[in-house]
Amino acid sequence: MFVLLLACEQEPKQYFSSAPEIDLAKSNTESYYSGNWEAFRANYVDTAKIYHNSTEAITVDEMIMRFKDGLKDVSTYSSKDSIYYEMIVEDDGDHWINMWATWSATFKNTGEKVEVPYHITAMIKDGKIIKEFGYWNHLPIYQALKKSRMQMDTTNTN
């Protein structure tokens, strides 16, 4: 009988579509899209390691500075469609949030609209992000940014 009970024991659930960690990720996304950088910053530990399209880590403050620099050239930015979130609990207990979405922006000086799919995965511990990886094709953003800044330079020299 004991063997039967052990055989019926269920594996712990490892995939979630709702959890406090997902709520944190959603809050972070909302802070990013509203430009609330203080609330965005508050979701990370001071020592968080950020890897966006890179194998070298940057700090949260460096990430925010880069976001602000890139966004000063756009008139609007948002998620094109729904943002999809999931949480995975690894065998060792680490909690990872995965999210997928499409970033959409319109550049001020040219009116060019850019849409770029992206993926973010973040490790969360004690209610804060401690490590984050982000992946997207930066080329369309770079090209639109370059055109926008060239247009601004042309406008300023006339």
pLDDT digits (tens, 9 = 90+) for 85-131: 999 999 999 999 999 999 999 999 999 999 999 999 999 999 999 99
The predicted pLDDT at position 118 comes to 97
For the full predicted model, state whether its pTM sits above 0.75.
Answer: yes
Q: What is the mean pLDDT of residues 36-52?
A: 98
Residue 23: CA count within 13 A, CB half-sphere: 4
Report CA-CA distances (Å) from 19 to 81, 85, 97: 22, 10, 10
CB 43 within 8 A of CB 31: yes
CATH topology of domain 13-157: Nuclear Transport Factor 2; Chain: A, (3.10.450)
The predicted pLDDT at position 155 comes to 64
Through-space distance between the first and last CA atoms of the chain, rounded to whole angstroms: 88
